[in-house]
């Protein structure tokens, strides 16, 4: 249906320009008490969202959503702003990862490796279960151990597949997963691990805790 007013056209996502600019625009709704037993006034405030905020991941969102102390208004705001610096650094690192061709390729291969790793393990176990047989009891050795009675009937290509091919694939997948984990998780872990030590040393030198400057956020 065609928009029937200027306000409708302002929020019409089918218009290319509106759809483009709405991605970089945020909105807050604030309930303002007007007093004198009057109903509260709902204020809607629009603001520009920096492009770097598009790099926020679901893990970051969940950390803020479930990690902030909501005991009261004061602790909620204080705990939230104490996490802003880490959140900003995480987004900067994600931005760097997405701008680097090598890291983008590694992350894509890493996602495939995560899926193939489980499939490779399942395939190896299925082949072992299918070809696993119990040896008939040895008449000459009635006290044979379990290891002596177990036998996997694999020969030729099947034996090479289980003994060499699948384990090699497994090692390659583990290597890719390790590299992917190293570039995505380890830097953040190291930064968080030594952050408290950095602040302690800064305090000893008389340096105040850095204050996050919202105006320093890149707009492009």
Q: Where are the domains of the chain?
A: 1-49, 55-98, 101-186
This prediction's pTM? 0.58
Instruction: Give the pLDDT of the chain (220 residues) as one tens digit per residue.
Output: 454 566 566 666 677 777 777 778 888 888 888 777 888 888 888 888 888 888 888 888 888 888 888 888 888 888 888 888 888 888 888 888 888 888 889 888 888 888 888 888 888 888 777 776 655 665 555 565 655 555 666 667 777 777 778 888 889 998 998 898 888 877 777 776 676 666 666 666 665 544 444 444 454 4
Cα dihedral sign, 207-208-211-213: negative
């Amino acid at each position: 249906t065609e928009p029937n007013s200027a306000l409708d056209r302002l929020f019409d996502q089918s218009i290319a320009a509106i759809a483009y600019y709405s991605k970089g625009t945020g909105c807050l709704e604030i309930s303002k008490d007007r007093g004198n037993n009057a109903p509260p006034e709902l204020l809607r405030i629009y603001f520009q969202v920096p492009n770097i905020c598009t790099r926020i991941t679901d893990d970051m969102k969940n950390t803020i959503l479930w990690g902030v102390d909501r005991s009261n208004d004061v602790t909620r705001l204080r705990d939230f702003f104490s996490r802003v610096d880490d959140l900003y650094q995480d987004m900067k690192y994600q931005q760097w990862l997405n701008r680097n061709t090598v890291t983008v390729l590694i992350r894509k291969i890493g996602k495939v490796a995560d899926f193939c790793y489980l499939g490779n393990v399942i395939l190896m176990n299925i082949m072992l279960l299918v070809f696993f047989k119990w040896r008939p009891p040895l008449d000459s050795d009635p006290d044979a151990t379990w290891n002596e009675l177990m036998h996997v009937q694999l020969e030729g290509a099947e034996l090479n597949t289980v003994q060499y091919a699948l384990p090699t694939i497994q090692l390659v997948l583990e290597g890719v997963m390790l590299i992917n984990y190293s570039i995505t998780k380890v830097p953040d872990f190291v930064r968080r691990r030594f952050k408290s030590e950095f602040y302690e040393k800064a305090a000893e030198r008389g340096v105040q805790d850095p204050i996050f400057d919202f105006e320093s956020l890149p707009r492009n």
